[in-house]
Amino acid sequence: MKKLKAVILLLCVSLFMAVPGHAKKQSQSQINFGTYTCQAFLQDVAQGSEADVGVVLMWLDGYLSGVSGDTVWKEKEFGEFSERLVDHCSKHGSQKLLDAAKEKGIQ
């Protein structure tokens, strides 16, 4: 679990450098956030690149911002949200990631 938290923290620090490079690549994969589970997310975190995980976390942040109307980027809160989400997902693997994100959203 500590390794997973370290990966998330490292991701948050390097997120802005990683995502633009990833955006230039064309990805063949798709994520259906309506069915994507916490367990699948944690597997992707463990096996995926920082850029791929960053894209998922940024998508979730953007989605939650759209739902709440909060359009202010808060780096510290984003990191805390990421940690809460990973902690929650490690205990609720079958829950849909989007539901977990709404539950643990940026406070």
Task: Give me the pLDDT at residue 71, please.
Answer: 86
Task: Give me the pLDDT at residue 16, please.
Answer: 41
Taking CA atoms, 85 is separated from 16, 23, 25, 55, 82, in Å, by 20, 24, 27, 15, 5
Task: Give me the pLDDT at residue 22, please.
Answer: 40
Count, residues in the chain: 107
**Number of structural domains, the chain?**
1
Q: Looking at the predicted structure, is the pLDDT value of residue 19 above 70?
A: no
Is residue 7 very low, low, confident or very high in pLDDT (cuts 50, 70, 90)?
A: low
Task: Give me the pLDDT at residue 28, please.
Answer: 42
Q: Which domain holds residue 85?
A: 2-103
14-28, 29-43, 90-104: least confident range = 14-28
Is residue 2 very low, low, confident or very high in pLDDT (cuts 50, 70, 90)?
A: low
Is the whole-model pTM more than 0.75? no
20-29, 45-54, 59-68, 97-106: least confident range = 20-29
Q: Average pLDDT, whole number, for the chain?
A: 80
CB neighbour list of residue 92: distance below 8 Å, 6 or more residues apart: 38, 100
